[in-house]
Structure 1
Amino acid sequence: MPRFKKILLVLLPLILSVYGGCSGKEIDASLPPASLLVQCQKLGQKNKHEKAINCLETLKGRYPGSPEAIEADLYIADNQFRQKEYLLATETYRNFIKLNPVHPKLDYAYYRTGLSYLKETPKAIDRDQQYLDDAINYFEILLKYYPYSQYTEINKEKWEEARRRVASRIYYVGRFYYRTGEYIAAIPRFEEVYQNYPALGIDEQALYYLALSHIKLSQKTEALGIFNILESRFPAGRYAKRLTGKLGL
């Protein structure tokens, strides 16, 4: 056997033991809970999310009931979120909320639950939007019960985004019915947008097509009423001007 191969065979177990030891040291379960939590967080920061989750589960098992073990669920959910396992993250955040109803980080858990539901929802309005209502509900809990939270501003932005996407979906359905001549079906969709989702950039168009739908149904009185609302709420808008000719004004 060549000398090089003999040396390699002698050194190989040593090399493997060294690298194996380094890998094993990423999780040192003998550490006190605060230090172990820091170790777990560092793994997550290095995008080693599965190892971070395993580390946090180790922490929960070794120090049950400790403040660090309680918070571990939040960090587990954060790592699931970063892996784009959004529904799994919602379950973990919600479990934290259920088990810790007076925890000082409850506002964070509510915000992240809403954000996870929002992330799970496709942005294309012709795709399934079933989790938008859940996102809005959790954002609204934070707005109502934690008005001074450090997450209030970003939470409000995401709440408005979720509501805008719901309104866009309803408006999209209304436009579909309008294009296909189903004006009676279109009317309640446009009404819902301008009544329930104001100031999101869609209500002006919704009022316009609501008036057009009434015109198509020869309901001029109703169309005039909508025109008056449109003109008063958007005096400088282009849609009220478009309606004047259609109404013979």
Structure 2
Amino acid sequence: MSRSVALFLLLLLSGCGLFPKELKDSKSWSASKYYSEAKTELNEGNYQAAIKLFEALEARYPYGRYAQQAQLEVAYAHYKDGEPATAIAAADRFIKLHPNHANVDYAYYLKGLANFNDDLGLMGIVSERILGQDMSERDPKASRESFENFKELVTRFPKSKYASDAVQRMKHLVNVVALNEVQVARYYMKRGGYVAAANRAQYALKEYPQTPATEEALFIMVKAYDALGITSLRDDADRVMRKNFPGSRFLSDSTGSDGEPWWRFW
């Protein structure tokens, strides 16, 4: 590579914020100077530049509060840069190295946030914000892991300033996972897998009671048992549904006169 091309690439990358500013003079920097420069990059949204500076800080000054805080900031920078797996790994590293740190509760919270937004990325954000994709339509693995992260935070640090938000997110995640179960049951119903649909809907009722998914889960059970000719179970599910959801949209719209299959309701 010619010197002119190398210089061009260096200027280009520096202009894009991929290389921390003034890094060539950083050998004389103190730990506080490294941290200040890294925070500036972080606050300006230059996450990769911030990460490089935080990592350089830890390498040059591996002990002390600045190095510890840098490890936590790296996890946050990766999270903001749309790298949930790397953010979680960095948070786990901080927890392992500093289990009694005053801010270790934030590391647990950050893990929950990273999993909470996992699978979004650029395309996920587009579908979530523009196309209106429901979280329940995505792989529930990250939602389950996020719930466990927040649960661990609330259990270990009930007085943490992040606990209240974590609890609210946990409530949302329970609804998301329950709706995912109903999504699967709905899938089986549309394809004539009535036994699988009934079992999945029943599982949602048992594992996630009193969630918004309950109404549709009961409806699927009614229709699945009806299709299977199991009238006793159908009537039991129908009775429970009518008692708990007397004005259900499913009940009012499931017997249309247009000749469409009942599942066209979805």
Please show how residues 157-172 of structure 1 align to structure 2 within 5 Å. 157-172=168-183
Please tell me the residue identity of whatever aligns with 1:201. Answer: P
| Residue in structure 1 matching 2:100, options 99, 102, 106 | 102
Q: Which of 37, 40, 43 is 1:39 aligned to?
A: 37
Please name the residue that 1:211 is paired with: 222
Partner of 2:65: 67
**Shift of residue 156 of structure 1?**
2.4
Q: What is the CA–CA distance in structure 2 between the aligned matches of 1:135 and 1:27, rounded to whole Å?
A: 41
Question: In 2, are the aligned partners of 1:27 and 1:55 still within 8 Å (CA)?
Answer: no
CA positional deviation for 1:60: 0.8
Partner of 2:47: 49
Quick one: which amino acid aligns to residue 104 of structure 1?
Answer: A
Instruction: Provide Cα deviations, 1:117-159, integer angstroms capped at 9, x if missing partner.
Output: 1212256555544322221211211222222221123222332
Q: Which moved more, 1:216-225 or 1:89-98?
A: 216-225
In structure 2, stretches of 5+ residues that fail to align are 1-10, 12-19, 121-127, 256-266
SS across alignment from 1:120: coil
- Per-residue CA deviations over 1:206-237 (Å, capped at 9, x if unaligned) read 11111221122222222222233324433554
SS at 2:240 equivalent: helix
Aligned CA distance change for structure 1 residues 79 and 27 (closer, same or farther; 3 Å): farther
* Equivalent position amino acid for 2:39 in 1: Q
2:193 to 178, 182, 189: 182
Give CA-to-partner distance per residue, 1:189-219, whole Å, 9 cap, x none.
Answer: 1112222223432111111111221122222
**Preserved CA contact (<8 Å) 1:26 1:39:** no
| TM superposition shift of 1:165 | 2.6
Give the aligned length: 225
Deviations 1:69-99 (A, max 9, x none): 1121110111111211121111111111122
2:236 maps to amino acid: G
CA distance in 2 between partners of 1:27 and 1:190 (Å): 63
Contact 1:115 1:158 in 2 (8 A): no
Query: How far 1:166 sits from its partner (Å)?
Result: 2.1
Q: Does 2:80 correspond to 1:82?
A: yes
CA contact under 8 A between 1:113 and 1:135: conserved in structure 2? yes
CA distance in structure 2 between the partners assigned to 1:119 and 1:27 by the alignment:
37
CA radius of gyration, larger in: 1
Does residue 211 of structure 2 align to residue 200 of structure 1? Answer: yes
In terms of mean alpha carbon deviation, does 32-41 or 186-195 score higher? 32-41
Deviation at 1:28, TM superposition (A): 4.2
Report the equivalent of 2:145.
Answer: 134
Instruction: Output the amino acid matched with 2:37.
Output: Q
Distance 2:38 2:26 in 1: 10
Residue 191 of structure 1 is aligned with which of 186, 199, 202? 202
Q: TM-score, normalised by structure 1?
A: 0.78
